[in-house]
Structure 1
Amino acid sequence: MTPVTSPRSPRLLAAGFALLLAGCASAPVPPGISDSPWAIQSGTAASDAGPWTHKPLPGKAATRFQYERHLGRDAVAVQADASASLLRQSLRIEPQQLGQVRFSWKVSALIAGADLASRDKADAPVRIVLAFEGDRSRFSPRDAALSELVRALTGEEMPYATLMYVWCNQRAPGTVIRNTRTDRIRKLVVESGPGSLNRWLDYERDIRADYERAFGEPPGALVGVALMTDTDNTQSLAEAWYGPVRFLPASR
């Protein structure tokens, strides 16, 4: 097996880097975020959480992240200009402790021409990305090759599964979209169309139920979370704001 020399490796590697949420090889966090009120409000006492860090993607321009107060809320303001990168945090929440995740976002405009189910148009104005442990021996040959490639080139492990909460241009909330390059990324639509633009939207999601809906099996430990706004496929501009991301313990 020679995945590094495969003509499809650059695209597979890009998909693999989008999964790298739990490792430590990252660029410095943008100034003002790590000690901001936004960061202090994010996370959970039940997790072993690390600092927020910026993860550029190979061959991609970096999205800009910065802290600001926006319409009375502590937020991370994001600007993407034909770019893709992640603001991520490593943490650990065991399966039996998984409860709800609360998050909020505000989007000024959808990305014209974007289609999360299309290989070459899969951009999104906002994503909340969750990474999970699991049994890697269950990887398909394609995903196993991708995992080996990512480990060899980065020294980081690819999570077993990645669940993304996304805003889709056209698909209805509740739709699950499988990534076209790896079965280990699945996107759950929680907002659709232009009807809710230009205002803060708040969500509380049951992590276990959403994972089982997307992957058809119980989740492993949650080991990473990230924000991602990307416009590299459509070569366009996008701006968005994210409120704090909070993890609540499972109900007793």
Structure 2
Amino acid sequence: MHRQLLNLCALALLAGCATTAPPPHAADGWQPMALPGKTPTRYSWTEKDGRPALEAASERSASIWRKRVEPALADVGEVSFSWWAQGLIPNASVADIDREDAVARVIFGFGGDIDKLSLRTRMKFELAQALTGEVPPYATLMYVWDSKLPVGTVVVNPRSDRIRKIVVDSGPGELHRWRDHRRDLAADFRLAFGEAPGPLVSMAVMTDSDNSRASARTWYGVVELKKPSAGSGAAAAAAPGP
């Protein structure tokens, strides 16, 4: 039950309910989000291989670095993001409830009609709202780096089917270098959830190693959203760094 409540709190934080004020050095609206009962991952501005980056250092810890999308983005197109991972967590798996850690995650929260969800899910959302003051996103899509699952695997979160993950890096072969990803966010949402996405309300990065009681160190580059129409340029650029 404790893990389920923690998961609900994490969802609500993605919706933008955190009461923690942003630190003076926070860039472009990004701020740290602690999870109840968890040692926070340390996030700090730096450079990595000549790129501005947000460094995430996890020591048996879990927390989020999040940005609200205000106003919410009604239409989403391509997204580009990058990460550089020092090493993997050997026993971790984003598909296992007891080992659900990842060295790298880029996370998107979407709005939607919560009344369409099952009674059980709505009750979970009401509990999260009571705990945090905000309703979680209607749906949360994560891009993750997993230790073993094949690239392209879609994972339904074992604690909440309103969180789904797509593996975009796997195994140790791409460690110690920048990995640049460009994805069709709307198409990936349809793949994961079987419906069109609602408005984009938040985005975040997360490195966690608490369930595995291990360590992880990752650097994140710019997260950039593109308008869906061809040649229309960037809708929003959100760099979790200076």
Aligned to 1:73: 51
Letter matched to residue 66 of structure 2: R
Give the whole-Å Cα distance in 1 for the aligned partners of 2:223 and 2:148: 25
1:52-89 Cα distance to aligned partner (Å, 9 max, x none): 11110001000000000111000000100111110001
User: Which residue is equivalent to 2:143?
Assistant: 165
Percentage identity across aligned positions? 46
Answering whether residue 39 of structure 2 is matched by residue 61 of structure 1, we say yes
* CA distance in 1: counterparts of 2:44 and 2:19, whole angstroms: 16
Tell whether 2:15 aligns with 1:22: yes
Q: After TM superposition, where is structure 1 displaced by more than 4 Å over at least 4 residues in a row? A: none
Whether the 8 Å contact between 2:17 and 2:133 is mirrored in structure 1 is: no
Tell me whether 1:124 sits opposite 2:102 in the alignment: yes
Contact 1:107 1:197 survives alignment (8 Å):
yes
Per the alignment, in what secondary structure is the counterpart of residue 15 of structure 2? coil
1:69 and 1:226 map into 2 onto residues whose CA distance is 19
Q: In 2, distance between residues paired with 1:237 and 1:199?
A: 19
Q: Which one of the candidate residues 167, 191, 202 is aligned to 2:180?
A: 202
Richer in strand (by share): 2
Aligned length: 228
TM-score normalized by the length of structure 1: 0.87
- When normalised by structure 2's length, the TM-score is 0.90
Secondary structure at the counterpart of residue 21 of structure 1: helix
Q: How is 1:178-197 mapped onto 2 (pairs within 5 angstroms)?
A: 178-197=156-175
For 2:64 and 2:123, how far apart are their aligned partners in 1? 23
Pairs within 5 Å for 1:239-250 = 239-250=217-228
Deviations, residues 23-58 of structure 1 (Å, cap 9, x unaligned): 2424244553x24xxx5xxxxxxxxxxx11111000
Q: Look up the match of 1:13.
A: 5
Q: Structure 2: how far apart are the matches of 1:143 and 1:84?
A: 24
Change (3 A) 1:214 1:81: same
The CA RMSD over aligned residues, in Å, is 1.3
Q: Give, in angstroms, the shift of residue 169 of structure 1.
A: 1.0
CA distance in 1: counterparts of 2:65 and 2:123, whole angstroms: 26
Gaps of 5+ in 2: 231-242
Distance 1:26 1:74, change over 3 A: farther
- Tell me what 1:225 maps to: 203
